[in-house]
Amino acid sequence: MTTAADRPLRAGSAAKRSAILTAARDLFLADGFERTSVDSIAAASGGVSKRTIYDYFGDKSALLLAVVEQSVEGLLTSVKAAVDDELSDDVRTRADLEAALHAFVARVADTTLGSADYAALVGLVRSEAAHLPGLAARWTAREPEDLLAERFAHFEQAGLLHVPKPRTAADQFTALTFGLSQSETPLAIAVPGSRREEILRDGVEAFMRAYAI
């Protein structure tokens, strides 16, 4: 006998898929995963049926994973744009590099850490990670650090940094800046702007003291 979990998923309409993901994200953030029903997601999706949601995503847990995947992809797009724009080859001096790192963390923070939706999403991932192991794994994907490691290696070649292990340096940079900022608020609350700016500024300065030439 074929069950819902065994049926192959449909790719379906891109517009319907987007509507479902948007509705699910809004409801998950507002009401939490457990209190959000597939019926309520269908109703908020603009006429999409409950059956269509199951056909597209399989079940509510898989839908949450898809919401997180979409959010991660959006974050990566923002980070890549910030890396390309702020940490470019135009950085030629130590002063340039420090200013560029400050601009980079401020730009990423403005689109993520300062957002109540982002803070709520972090809280949602933390609360559901024990039930959905793949959730935490996807949320903590390391692509942003890979991008930073590549640029740090470039800045070493340019004589601005000494980073024998670029990936370790990238991990430490994100821990000193974004990691510390997130650890300030274990609940789904955005970090106050002034405190966030202080953490990011101190993190960049600590990184420069450790690695700048």
Q: How far apart are alpha carbons 58 and 60 in whole angstroms? A: 7
The secondary structure element, H or E, covering residue 170 is: helix 166-174
Note the CATH number of domain 1-58. Answer: 1.10.10.60
At 22 the pLDDT is 95
Q: How far apart are alpha carbons 199 and 179 in whole angstroms? A: 10
At 2 the pLDDT is 43
pTM of the model: 0.77
| C-alpha distance from residue 105 to each of 68, 110, 199 (Å) | 22, 8, 10
Residues of the chain with pLDDT under 50: 1-7, 9, 187-189
DSSP 3-state percent helix, strand, coil across the chain (nearest 5): 70, 0, 30
At 119 the pLDDT is 73
Q: Are 145 and 170 in contact (CB under 8 A)?
A: yes
Domain ranges of the chain: 1-58, 70-211
| Model confidence pLDDT, tens digit, residues 140-195 | 666 789 999 999 999 999 999 999 999 999 999 999 998 888 776 554 445 567 88
Angle, in degrees to the nearest 10, between helices 116-128 and 60-86: 130
Q: How far apart are alpha carbons 212 and 178 in whole angstroms? A: 20
Q: Which two tokens stand for residue 97?
A: 């590099």
Q: Which CATH superfamily is domain 70-211 in?
A: Tetracycline Repressor, domain 2 (1.10.357.10)
